[in-house]
Amino acid sequence: MTRLKPKQKETLPFKLLAMISHDIKIPLDNFAAYLADLPMSKPLQTGGDEIVEGLTSYVNSCRSLMDNVLFWARLHLNGYGIISQPALLRLQTDLIILSLKHQALSKRLNISNKIPEMPQVKINLSVFEFVLRNLLNNSIKFTPASGHIEIRSRTGRDSITVSVSDSGPGISADKLERIFSARKAISSSVNGSGIGLILCNDLLNICGGRIWSESTEGKGATFHFSIPAEY
């Protein structure tokens, strides 16, 4: 019987996660494409639009979860490679908003990018995009129709902090305490959004950043994350 070396044992779970996520993602992508073409290919019966919209939302949530797990597993497999590169943060944020345009429009949400124009900043762009996309995705998911989402930034000496605020229902104090903890999440029911936040926390810890949140029930929530930056 072939015995796995310690390093192989260490990476095996991440390889399995990457393989499973990739294999599940392919049929989900195909199903999402089918749903997108369905209204154009033939007229739908009464109520069909709502059914397709609900299925599309569900499939997009599953795809987002698979993307998160796949990215996280690959980063661990690559040995925590933290590579900083120059980026225009306002432009990168606009591109992320654009990638989520369909979900936002379906709920008539207004997303404001208040990050100011600034020279290029050297950051871990992959982690920045991963975290911001997750936070925006969650805000879109939980903010009621016709609500608003706002993105701001604050520069520090060797880091930049980005904040995502929404007009959603807010988060209770007890949930705020465990929202980023994998250990606490295991003992409670955690959905795809919760897993995404846990992965965000893990990736930011690896690259020397952090994530936190503040909220009052009924008054929306604000999620902040800081990431090392060179100006």
Place of tokens 């690259």: 207
CA distances from 58 to 31, 39, 65 (A): 11, 17, 11
Query: What is the domain extent for residue 19?
Result: 6-77
**For range 56-71, the mean pLDDT:** 78
pLDDT category at 144 given cuts 50, 70, 90 is very high
Q: What is the CATH number of the domain that holds 119?
A: 3.30.565.10
Burial (0-12, 13-18, 19+ Cβ within 10 Å), 25: middle
For residues 126 and 165, membership in a common domain is answered with: yes
For residues 116 and 56, membership in a common domain is answered with: no
**For range 142-156, the mean pLDDT:** 96
- Give a yes or no: residue 22 inside a domain: yes
Are 123 and 145 within 8 A, CB to CB?
no
Better-predicted residue by pLDDT, 150 or 60: 150
**pTM here?**
0.78
For residues 203 and 91, membership in a common domain is answered with: yes
Mean pLDDT of the chain: 83
d(CA 39, CA 119): 44
Give me 35's structure tokens. Answer: 């749903």
Q: Into how many domains does the chain fold?
A: 2
Q: Where are the beta strands (DSSP E) in the chain?
A: 85-87, 110-113, 121-123, 148-155, 159-166, 210-215, 221-228
Highest mean pLDDT among 3-7, 54-58, 220-224: 220-224
Whether the per-residue pLDDT at 178 is higher than 70: the answer is yes
Q: Which of 23, 32, 57, 68 is nearest to 200 (CA)?
A: 68
d(CA 118, CA 188): 42
For residues 27 and 116, membership in a common domain is answered with: no
pLDDT of residue 13: 67
- Give a yes or no: residue 27 inside a domain: yes
For residues 99 and 64, membership in a common domain is answered with: no
For residues 113 and 51, membership in a common domain is answered with: no
- Where residue 204 falls (left for φ over 0; alpha for ψ -120 to 50; beta otherwise) is alpha
Which tens digits make up the pLDDT trace of 8-51?
Answer: 445 666 677 767 777 777 888 887 787 777 766 666 666 667 77
Instruction: Look at residues 14, 43, 77 and tell me which one is the last residue of a structural domain.
Output: 77
pLDDT of residue 41: 61
Which segment of 3-7, 35-39, 153-157 scores lowest on mean pLDDT? Answer: 3-7
- Give a yes or no: residue 1 inside a domain: no
Better-predicted residue by pLDDT, 228 or 77: 228
Give me 8's structure tokens. Answer: 């192989």
Instruction: Look at residues 29, 53, 77 and tell me which one is the last residue of a structural domain.
Output: 77
pLDDT of residue 4: 36
**For range 67-74, the mean pLDDT:** 79
Whether the per-residue pLDDT at 161 is higher than 70: the answer is yes
pLDDT of residue 105: 87
